[in-house]
Amino acid sequence: MDHLSLCPLVVLLLCLVILALSKIFKTVIQDQEKSTADIPPGSHGFPVVGETLQFMLSVNSGKGFYEFVRRRRIRYGSCFRTSLFGETHVFLSTTESARAVLNNESGMFTKRYIKSIAALVGDRSLLCASQHHHKILRSRFINLFSKKSTALMVRHFDELVVDALSGWEHHGTVVLLTDLLQITFKAMCKMLISLENEEELGSLQRDVGFVCEAMLAFPLNLPWTRFHKGIMARGRVMEVLEKIIRERRNETNSHNNNYREDFRQQLLAVDSDGSASSSDHSTKLTDAEIKDNILTMIIAGQDTTASALTWMVKYLGENQKVLNILIEEQTQLAKQASHKPFLELDDLTEMTYASKMVKESLRMASVVPWFPRLVLQDCEMEGYKINKGWNINIDARSIHLDPNVYSEPHKFNPSRFDEEAKANSFLAFGMGGRTCLGLNMAKAMMVVFLHRFITTYRWEVVDGDPSIEKWTLFARLKSGYPIRVSRRL
Ligand code: HEM
């Protein structure tokens, strides 16, 4: 055959190859976009990596990692699937699904975070422990979050806030998030381990920061990776906590009367007085459990509360009407409480509008945007088949912003909570057996800050850029929300 007669054959062959390739490409990339009869709609993305790349792009964008979920929620509806870090994830965003999965009466779901998080907070952490282990841990920790602890926290937190706010008017620009992270970190360390030394607090906060930054990183433990930096920082935090536990044990054993009412004391009390540990082995915590969970509680309490407070100030600044009502309530209460140096828990019960303001801020910000669980048995959700071994995520943020659940969901309106919210619709602190242990404490801290901030200062925003910070587990403003304050006369 001559070259010319070969030509149509080559063209035909080329066409066939292109057709076959485009078919394969379509199958791999897009076949999953339309739901087959019973599998949730969505895309599995590329082989092996799935949609991890797109997720990482979202994390890296100014819109934050929730953008990845938001786009797919709009495209596929209230139930969709994707593939991240080699595993299938399903996202659900109805109140019925939230009730079924988070209350978990069927026992078909358990909590599981992505691998990088378990390696960073420790597999004995409340966040990552198996269902059975979690029950034991939670029963021990829940006692620590008593009304007495909340009252103590209110007193300590108010003192910290008053101290921190005292010089703000001379600071020029205050980067709100940075200062709030420092205040909430101090509050957590005081409550958990009575750590107050500024230098030690500074280096511990830096290391906890590295741990947090690594939480969304690809779990690749090589010297130059963000994940590695986080793992190394975890090691240093563990050493500090080990030293603190050892010192406290020595103090207790030598009957040093230096008793402190922190969580560490209560956790160690079980094995140091001998009686509890010998009579009830199931409640005795190992040092590893104590250390993992102190780190967990610092992270769970610091970053969430500081981020929520920053969002709250932002919403408040954007809603003058709400601000006016709040100022009226708070200045009145400030006069009543002027005879005492610090607020008490009972004072907060009178701050009804401030409490609704806190709730509305938590709804709008959805600081923890979704709750991950692992599916233990094949089941059906929202008419779709869900396989054992898949990850299922309750998308709280979509529920908080669903117009069928909250009317005018994008309007900041604390008075919407004059009435009880619809069942299973307020998920800022989760629901069921994994509900946030610190929820009362967190709400109290937010009200305390609100009271002091509102009654002390007026403020103007220096940079209102709404971009979201990269590499953070909880949605935080990238700018840190810089403000300039002046004394309210
Ligand atoms: C505004 C601040 C806070 C928010 C929005 C928040 C939110 C949450 C949410 C949504 C969960 C449950 C996640 C799930 O079900 O998967 C959770 C769990 C948890 N939170 Fe908070 N939290 C806040 C403050 C605190 C504070 C101050 C503490 C105190 C140390 C704390 C300690 C914990 C702990 C220990 C868990 C794990 C509970 C368990 O798994 O049994 N949180 N938090």
Q: What is the pLDDT of residues 135-184, one digit of tens each?
A: 999 998 998 899 999 999 999 999 999 999 998 999 999 999 999 999 99
Ligand 1 centroid to Cα of residue 288, in Å, is 20
Q: Whose CA is nearest to atom 19 of ligand 1?
A: 436
Q: Are 102 and 432 in contact (CB under 8 A)?
A: yes
Of the candidates 80, 86, 83, the residue with the CA atom closest to the CA atom of residue 115:
86
At 23, the pLDDT band (50, 70, 90 cuts) reads very low
Q: Is the pTM of this model over 0.85?
A: yes
* Spatial distance between the Cα atoms of 301 and 437, rounded to a whole number of angstroms: 10
| Mutation choice for ligand 1 from 436, 447, 449, CB with most ligand atoms inside 8 A | 436
Contact 72, 403 (CB under 8 A): no
Rounded to the nearest whole angstrom, what is the distance from the C-alpha of residue 29 to the centroid of ligand 1?
Answer: 37
Residue 258: pLDDT band by 50, 70, 90 thresholds? Answer: low
pLDDT at residue 454 greater than cutoff 80 = yes
Question: Which residues does ligand 1 sit against, CB inside 6 Å?
Answer: 111, 126-127, 138, 296-297, 300-301, 304-305, 308, 362, 367-368, 371, 428-430, 434, 436-438, 441-442
Closest Cα to atom 17, ligand 1: which residue?
436
Residue 1 structure tokens: 């055959």
Summarize pLDDT for 341-396 with one digit per residue, the tens: 999 999 999 999 999 999 999 999 999 999 999 999 999 999 999 999 999 999 99
State which ligand 1 atom lies nearest to the alpha carbon of 126.
40
**Mean pLDDT confidence for 106-134:** 86
pLDDT digits (tens, 9 = 90+) for 292-306: 999 999 999 999 999
Q: How confident is the model at residue 64 (pLDDT cuts 50, 70, 90)?
A: confident
Nearest-atom number in ligand 1 for the CA of 430 is 10
- Residue 369 CA to ligand 1 centre (angstroms): 12
CA of 49 to the centre of ligand 1 (A): 30
Residue 484 CA to ligand 1 centre (angstroms): 31
Which 3-state string (H, E, C) describes the chain?
Answer: CCHHHHHHHHHHHHHHHHHHHHHHHHHHHHHHHCCCCCCCCECCCECCCECHHHHHHHHHCCCCCHHHHHHHHHHHCCEEEEEECCEEEEEECCHHHHHHHHHCCCCCEEECCCHHHHHHHCCCCCCCCCHHHHHHHHHHHHHHCCHHHHHHHHHHHHHHHHHHHCCHHHCCEEEHHHHHHHHHHHHHHHHHHCCCCHHHHHHHHHHHHHHHHHCCCCCCCCCCCHHHHHHHHHHHHHHHHHHHHHHHHHHHHCCCCCCCCCHHHHHHHHHHCCHHHHHCHHHCCCHHHHHHHHHHHHHHHHHHHHHHHHHHHHHHHCCHHHHHHHHHHHHHHHHHCCCCCCCCHHHHHCCHHHHHHHHHHHHHHCCCCEEEEEECCCEEECCEEECCCCEEEEEHHHHHCCCCCCCCCCCCCHHHHHCCCCCCCCCCCCCHHHCCCCHHHHHHHHHHHHHHHHHHEEEEECCCCCCECCCCCCCCECCCCEEEEEECC
pLDDT confidence band for 274 (50 / 70 / 90): very low
What digits encode the pLDDT tens for the residues 388-404? 999 999 999 999 999 99
